[in-house]
């Protein structure tokens, strides 16, 4: 394994990614250039404990706490724009260089950049589901309704996190919008902390791994098993794995090449290999 952003590592990675059709796995490090912070990135030691789906279902107070924070978080994430990494991957898809793109991000920025075929491993915060009847609502609409129900709420000054959550203590005054179809409880269409990725999605990803000539991991510490298992599968199949991430990842021991650098700059270097 080569470690570091040295020329040799980048050249070896370029040979691997240009040799066939790639499976790309993206994480929070891809979205930091769009202004969405990464809890697990370098220099961030304090990890707030996210809410589990069981906590969310526990009662009206948890719903208030969740939606009050999410409402503020969306004010930032909802305006984030795709960056150079998202755009480069769109080009690679258009040029037929990918077997697939799997993302651990819930920000929807790959889709916003124009990527057509994205596996949203952990769901998307721009879609809202009713926990009681299954009705689907665009997040923008729920945001508008919450704005009407809670005028002035989103003008508070708070600290934002990567999944649309924010640090906010007193949420007891927040009025939560009910499902318009049944009056039931709404939640974003994401895999909650402690939840698991649906089996058919996992199986689809394993199929993509099997078809790929190489796996390229971008901006993920592979801290959660949901992404790490695909890297493990690739390694077991003898498929080369290139990891691009600032800081160590759980996939490093399995990587053919590890590049310790930012995604946008490294992808720019790798794209030259396709020219």
Residue among 126, 100, 107, 108 at smallest CA distance from 216: 100
Of the candidate spans 12-20, 53-61, 87-95, 182-190, the one that interacts with Zn ion by CB under 5 A turns out to be 182-190
Task: Say whether 122 is catalytic.
Answer: yes
Contacts of 200 by beta carbon, 8 Å cutoff, 6+ apart: none
DSSP bridge partners of 243: 217, 258
Binding status of residue 147 toward Zn ion by CB under 5 A: no
Three-state SS for 84-106 is HHHHHHHHHHHCCCEEEEEECCC
CB-wise, 129 or 197, nearer to Zn ion?
129
Are 53 and 195 in contact, with CB atoms under 8 Å apart? Answer: yes
Q: Which position among 179, 205, 212, 214 is part of the footprint of Zn ion (CB under 5 A)?
A: 179
Catalytic pick among 71, 110, 115, 122: 122
Contact set for Zn ion, span 127-146 (CB under 5 A)? 130, 132-133, 135
DSSP state of 167: E
At residue 204, the 3 state secondary structure works out as: helix
Helices (H), 188-246: 199-211, 225-237
Q: How far is the CB of 186 from Zn ion (least distance, A)?
A: 8
CB-wise, 131 or 158, nearer to Zn ion?
131
Q: How far is the CB of 184 from Zn ion (least distance, A)?
A: 4
CA separation for the pair 21, 80 (Å, rounded): 29
Of the candidate spans 33-41, 175-183, 240-248, 250-258, the one that interacts with Zn ion by CB under 5 A turns out to be 175-183
Binding status of residue 181 toward Zn ion by CB under 5 A: yes
Q: Which position among 19, 159, 182, 272 is part of the footprint of Zn ion (CB under 5 A)?
A: 182
Tokens of 150: 């809670």
Of the candidate spans 21-29, 36-44, 89-97, 124-132, the one that interacts with Zn ion by CB under 5 A turns out to be 124-132
DSSP state of 154: G
Tokens of 148: 């009407």
Binding status of residue 1 toward Zn ion by CB under 5 A: no
Q: How far is the CB of 72 from Zn ion (least distance, A)?
A: 24
Binding residues (CB under 5 A) for Zn ion: these are 130, 132-133, 135, 179, 181-182, 184
Q: Which residues are catalytic?
A: 122
């Amino acid at each position: 394994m080569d470690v570091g952003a040295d020329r040799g590592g980048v050249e070896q990675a370029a040979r691997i990614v240009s040799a066939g059709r790639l499976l790309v796995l993206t994480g929070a490090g891809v979205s930091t250039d769009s202004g969405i912070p990464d809890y697990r990135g370098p220099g961030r030691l304090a990890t707030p404990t996210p809410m589990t789906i069981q906590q969310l279902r526990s009662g009206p107070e948890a719903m208030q706490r969740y939606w009050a924070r999410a409402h503020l978080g969306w004010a930032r994430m909802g305006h984030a724009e795709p960056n150079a990494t998202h755009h480069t991957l769109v080009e690679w898809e258009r040029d037929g260089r990918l077997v697939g793109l799997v993302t651990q991000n819930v920000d929807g920025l790959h889709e916003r950049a124009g990527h057509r075929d994205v596996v949203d491993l952990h769901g998307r915060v721009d879609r809202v589901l009713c926990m009681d009847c299954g009705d689907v609502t665009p997040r923008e609409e729920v945001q508008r309704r919450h704005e009407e129900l809670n005028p002035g709420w989103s003008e508070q000054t708070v600290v934002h996190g990567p999944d649309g959550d924010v640090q906010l203590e007193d949420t007891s005054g927040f009025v939560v919008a009910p499902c318009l179809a049944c009056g039931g409880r709404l939640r974003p269409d994401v895999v909650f902390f402690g939840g698991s990725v649906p089996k058919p999605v996992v199986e689809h990803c394993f199929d993509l791994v099997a078809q790929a000539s190489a796996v390229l991991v971008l901006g993920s510490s592979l801290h959660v098993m949901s992404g790490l298992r695909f890297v493990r599968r690739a390694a077991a199949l003898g498929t080369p794995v290139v990891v691009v991430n600032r800081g160590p990842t759980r996939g490093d021991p399995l990587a053919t090449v590890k590049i310790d650098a930012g995604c946008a700059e490294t992808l720019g270097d790798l794209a030259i290999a396709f020219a």
